[in-house]
Amino acid sequence: MIQQAKNPNPQRIELPPPSEPMKILVADDDGVIRAILRTTLNAWKYEIYEASNGLEAQEILEQDPEIRIVILDWVMPVMDGLELCRNLQGKKNTPYILMFTGNGSDEEVRKTLLEAGSNDFLTKPFSPEMLWWKLQAAARYLKDKNFSEAIDHMKILLVDDDKLYRTTLSAVLTKWKHVVREASDGIEALGILDQDSSIQIVILDWLMPGLDGLNVCRTLRKKEKIPYILMASGRKMDLDFQAGLEAGANDYLSKPFSLELLQSRLIAAARFMGSTFSQPPRKTDEPVTAHQSATRITADNPPPSAGN
């Protein structure tokens, strides 16, 4: 369900009109949920299609390949959301899938969603603002889909107190041809940023000893030159997202996250900073792409070696 928020009226959220009509399929067996979403999305000028189960949604998608986003409930009769996600993977013009779940704070639940092929998820209940932000992330990803090879040679500071996590993520970023520096806490991160003004992006953990991610954000916002801040946390996303933005973060990643989602966030960061996208890499040196969306970044699931 959609909860009441500070600005519950969707018309009050300033949404720039889409450059082209965006088709969204809402698949949920609850007619009330579909009606609420229909009203909200229509107010935001989206073209809405509806399905009451996964099989019906699959048939609609087969008939209309121009549907770009699917808002999908996990638990439905006939065919559930996970089965539909799996069926859609590998098909031409696969839409962006935003899955509903009642327990998005559970790591195993998020792992299941990502492995099935969901691009992102929404934890029920959610506010209209959270839905809006999720759709903006989807639109950015779809707009940049032709750049799935990602940008390269950006300088990134990775800040996390978990050494194995840093090593794992650093290997991914290095394979994508980024220059990576690491810090184990907020104080060390601020010291590195004071010494190296060429760092463009900070991937910043929320919970760290000493100085946490929120206070690092607040400190950086007082400086003249500010890097793009991507906050990462395994806490409840709908609450942390707002708190992170208020502290000064530019964007948010909820752990665990797919490599596809990380890549789309970096592309969005590069666009924000006005960076130039790299040319498509040679096939002999391809980075991780959206086809590996099932891979999540954890200590027990390391990425391919940067030297491979």
Q: What separation in angstroms does the CA of 70 have from each of 58, 73, 75, 80, 183?
A: 10, 10, 15, 13, 38
- What is the distance between the alpha carbons of residues 297 and 166, in angstroms, rounded to a whole number? 10
pLDDT at 6: 41
Alpha-carbon dihedral sign for residues 294, 295, 296, 299: positive
Question: Residue 195's pLDDT band (boundaries 50, 70, 90)?
Answer: very high
Model pTM greater than 0.85?
A: no
pLDDT at 289: 31
Q: How many helices (H) and strands (E) does the chain have?
A: 10, 10
Strand (E) positions, 250-298? Answer: 251-254
Does residue 299 have a pLDDT over 70?
no
Q: Which residue has the higher pLDDT, 137 or 285?
A: 137
Chain position carrying tokens 């990425």: 303
Structure tokens at 217: 């954000």
pLDDT at 105: 53
Amino acid in position 301: N
- What is the distance between the alpha carbons of residues 249 and 131, in angstroms, rounded to a whole number? 18
Structure tokens at 42: 């229509």
Q: Which residue has the higher pLDDT, 164 or 275?
A: 164
Least confident of 52-56, 68-72, 156-160, 220-224: 220-224
Mean of the per-residue pLDDT values for the chain?
75
pLDDT single digits (tens) 12-34: 445 554 445 689 999 999 999 89
pLDDT at 88: 87
- Which range has the top average pLDDT, 50-54, 126-130, 174-178? 50-54
Q: Sketch out the chain's domains with CATH numbers.
A: 18-143 (3.40.50.2300), 151-274 (3.40.50.2300)
Least confident of 76-85, 221-230, 260-269: 260-269
Least confident of 76-80, 161-165, 285-289: 285-289
Does residue 279 have a pLDDT over 90?
no
pLDDT at 145: 55
Chain position carrying tokens 């100085």: 211
pLDDT cut 90: percent of the chain above it: 21
Average pLDDT for residues 246-267, to the nearest whole number?
A: 79
Q: Which residue has the higher pLDDT, 306 or 54?
A: 54
- What is the distance between the alpha carbons of residues 8 and 4, in angstroms, rounded to a whole number? 6
Per-residue buried b or exposed e for 204-238, using 16+ beta carbons within 10 Å of the residue's own CB: bbbebeebbbbebbebbeeeeeebbbbbbbbeebb
Average pLDDT for residues 154-180, to the nearest whole number?
A: 89
